[in-house]
Structure 1
Amino acid sequence: MQPTAFARPGRFFRGNLHTHSTLSDGALDPAEVCRRYRAEGYDFIALTDHFVGEYGYPIADTLPYRGDGFTTILGAELHSGAMENGELWHILAVGLPADFAPANAPGFHPVEGQETGPEIAARARAAGAFVAIAHPQWSGLTLADARSLQAAHAVEVYNHGCATGADRADGFHTLDLLLSEGRDLTLVATDDAHFTEPDFFGGWVMVKAAENTPEALLAALKDGAFYATQGPAFHDLRIVGDTIQVESSAVASVIVQGAGSAAQALHGESLTRAEIALGRVARSPWLRVTLIDRAGRRAWSNPIRRG
């Protein structure tokens, strides 16, 4: 059994799915944001400014910044309705049409009569977007909140801006609980860059596609043909019998996680190949793999459903 990201043809393209500009609360204009990501070796980004009335409900026109092996996907960070803690929803939507209809969201506080978070997420997915639950830990998202967002394709499990500015980067608890309830979800790492602090170039996705076009990348994201990383690279991943086999860049640890407390780990020096008996993870209906290099940087496979 080989996950889609490693079984399908094509090559991996590096991209950031969560970024802000001066169209909302970022420090740099869209042209400079795109220039910096292109200069840093990214193949694509999604500029996802805050979709609220305070900023004129922006969906950034990044088409002029495509070219020279670099492309963009239109998107926004959607806000509408209150979570259980009374704060406004944050929902990442990548692949929105430029004419996506605004919500009744004048600012960063819930107002009476506006769409709920699940409703605007469903509308974004129906419009063709790849939808992710943004920074669950930072938001104070509850499990009930997460359960209600049925339109999500993914959970943002690492947010570099939330790590830098709040030390609340994590979304794995939310993801793993939903997976164990039977939800079919993938995971993304992002920057959420505003360029007001060192919140850039810290987490990204590697998307397997035949070509670096918005259409091919978006289709691959929806198919789960990608992995998330802070630096380490997956080269291959497959389940063979009662073992999982991993090929990667040099790492110090390879960890397989499953439902509940199930995990199996292999530690070493400059590991580029690992074969791990599933052991306690064998009975889990899902598993995922984490790579950790000597600098503590991580990469994460998408969850693999079993049976």
Structure 2
Amino acid sequence: MDRRAFIRTSGILTASAMMANESNAAEKTANAPAPLKNMVNPFEVEGKFYKAALHVHTTTSDGDVDVATRIPQYRKHGYDIVAITDHWKTNDLSGYSDEKFLAISGMEFHPKTGTGAPAHHLIALDIPHPLKLDSGKPAQELVDQVINAGGKVIYAHPYWTAHTLEEMSEITGYIAIEVFNAVCGLGAGKSYGNVHWYQIMNRGCVLPAVSVDDIHSSSNINLGWTMIKAKALNTADIMDAISKGSYYASCGPVIEDYRVENGTVSLKCSEASKIRFLYDGSGGGRTFNADKGKSITSASWKFGDSKRTLKWIRAEVIDSDGNFAWANPIKIETDKA
């Protein structure tokens, strides 16, 4: 090959590589997870709090008991809502809901990642029965199928699946992340998704978070739950609340009030050893500790007195046993901290 031909060929290859890189970048940008734009503060809307289990398995996949046994177990523990989310399979839940209890049709599906990391684990809520998903299809295609079927998607236990921000950014359309998954901590010690939640929000994707059991064995019931604030206990109102982040997550403490007013964030809760406010960026936190041997039930912080501009702020409550509750982020438009 003469020099001019080599230059022409090299130029074509370089241009092709640049176009491929631009295409890949555009694809990643297009699939970047989106913030929840219509998020509300559950403590500022009308309704009642309902205790929910949003990640539950039965013998339809790898649980230890069937649906007819699992649902009464949760009702006995005071749950108002249970989503049955067996792997790749839906269940016939007709006859399980009444005026005091709601059963939600769901599924856990786990399509491959594009990085070679372990598969995505995703929770689909409020989907028809039956619904078939092809495990060989790309993750985004399956997420879109769930959404087009009327369902909602939650990103499950990213710490347990060894995921990073890269895997979490491969898909878009999920409306929450699991900040706590009880079963993931029993063997692997990987219950908490705080870091993943923090990282994705620092990228501009401000999302709420849920807490779940992910029950497989009956002995692991009532270890994590989500308190949903809704107008009424029916599928339409509960799913509307979930889609707007009208809830808080817990594995113990009760959050009684949480709000931002005039540059001050405040929270009231059950007895706690710590109340922590977390916000975007480096550092990004303020903790209020109870005196030794005592507890606190409220805290407030006037963040508007300092010079830093906040984008969002969320809260954590930690009780004397080390159990957490998580208040969802509140977006800060003009206040400074």
Structure 2 length-normalised TM: 0.81
Tell me the equivalent position of 2:157.
135
Q: Counterpart of 1:305 in structure 2: which amino acid?
A: K
2:272 and 2:114 map into 1 onto residues whose CA distance is 39
Quick check: 1:155–1:175 contact (8 Å CA) kept in 2? yes
Tell me the equivalent position of 2:134.
104
Q: Secondary structure at the match of 1:188?
A: strand
Question: Gaps (5+ residues) in structure 2?
Answer: 1-38
- For each residue in 1:211-230, what CA deviation from the matched residue of structure 2 results, as whole angstroms up to 9, or x when unmatched? 11122111100011000001
- For each residue in 1:202-259, what CA deviation from the matched residue of structure 2 results, as whole angstroms up to 9, or x when unmatched? 1110000111112211110001100000121111111122321111112121100112
Please provide the CA RMSD for this pair: 1.9
Distance 1:245 1:3, change over 3 A: farther
Deviates more, 1:90-99 or 1:79-88: 79-88
Q: Secondary structure at the match of 2:328?
A: coil
Q: Paired residue for 2:111, among 80, 83, 102? A: 80
Q: Is the counterpart of residue 290 in structure 1 residue 311 in structure 2?
A: no
1:81 and 1:236 map into 2 onto residues whose CA distance is 40
Quick check: 2:176–2:209 contact (8 Å CA) kept in 1? yes
Tell me the equivalent position of 1:273.
298
2:76 and 2:67 map into 1 onto residues whose CA distance is 14
2:168 and 2:108 map into 1 onto residues whose CA distance is 17
Structure 1 runs of 4+ aligned residues shifted over 4 Å read 279-282
Number of equivalenced pairs: 290
| 1:181-200 alignment runs, 5 A limit | 181-195=203-217, 198-200=219-221
Deviates more, 1:81-90 or 1:24-33: 81-90
Distance 1:83 1:190, change over 3 A: farther
Q: Paired residue for 2:97, among 48, 66, 88? A: 66
Quick check: 2:273–2:296 contact (8 Å CA) kept in 1? yes
Q: Paired residue for 1:124, among 129, 142, 146? A: 146
Q: Is the counterpart of residue 217 in structure 1 residue 242 in structure 2?
A: no
Q: Counterpart of 1:207 in structure 2: which amino acid?
A: I
Distance 1:248 1:199, change over 3 A: same
Quick check: 1:180–1:285 contact (8 Å CA) kept in 2? no
Q: Secondary structure at the match of 1:304?
A: strand
Q: Paired residue for 2:272, among 251, 268, 272? A: 251
Q: Paired residue for 2:122, among 78, 86, 91? A: 91
Q: What fraction of aligned residue pairs are identical, expressed as a percent?
A: 29
1:86 and 1:131 map into 2 onto residues whose CA distance is 20
Quick check: 1:3–1:238 contact (8 Å CA) kept in 2? no
Q: Secondary structure at the match of 2:187?
A: helix
Quick check: 1:10–1:211 contact (8 Å CA) kept in 2? yes
CA displacement at 1:86 relative to structure 2: 4.2
1:61 and 1:281 map into 2 onto residues whose CA distance is 55
- For each residue in 1:263-305, what CA deviation from the matched residue of structure 2 results, as whole angstroms up to 9, or x when unmatched? 0011113322221232779523111100011111110011111
1:123 and 1:289 map into 2 onto residues whose CA distance is 34
2:242 and 2:309 map into 1 onto residues whose CA distance is 28
Q: Is the counterpart of residue 15 in structure 1 residue 52 in structure 2?
A: yes
Q: Is the counterpart of residue 29 in structure 1 residue 66 in structure 2?
A: yes
Tell me the equivalent position of 2:199.
177
- For each residue in 1:73-93, what CA deviation from the matched residue of structure 2 results, as whole angstroms up to 9, or x when unmatched? 110001222352343221111
Structure 1 length-normalised TM: 0.89
- For each residue in 1:108-149, what CA deviation from the matched residue of structure 2 results, as whole angstroms up to 9, or x when unmatched? xxxxxx222222122212322221111101101121110122
Quick check: 1:80–1:103 contact (8 Å CA) kept in 2? no
Q: Counterpart of 1:104 in structure 2: which amino acid?
A: D
Question: Gaps (5+ residues) in structure 1?
Answer: 52-57, 106-113
2:234 and 2:196 map into 1 onto residues whose CA distance is 31
Deviates more, 1:167-176 or 1:16-25: 167-176
Name the larger-Rg structure: 2
Distance 1:282 1:71, change over 3 A: farther
Q: Secondary structure at the match of 2:75?
A: helix
Tell me the equivalent position of 2:222.
201
Distance 1:86 1:291, change over 3 A: closer
Tell me the equivalent position of 1:55.
none
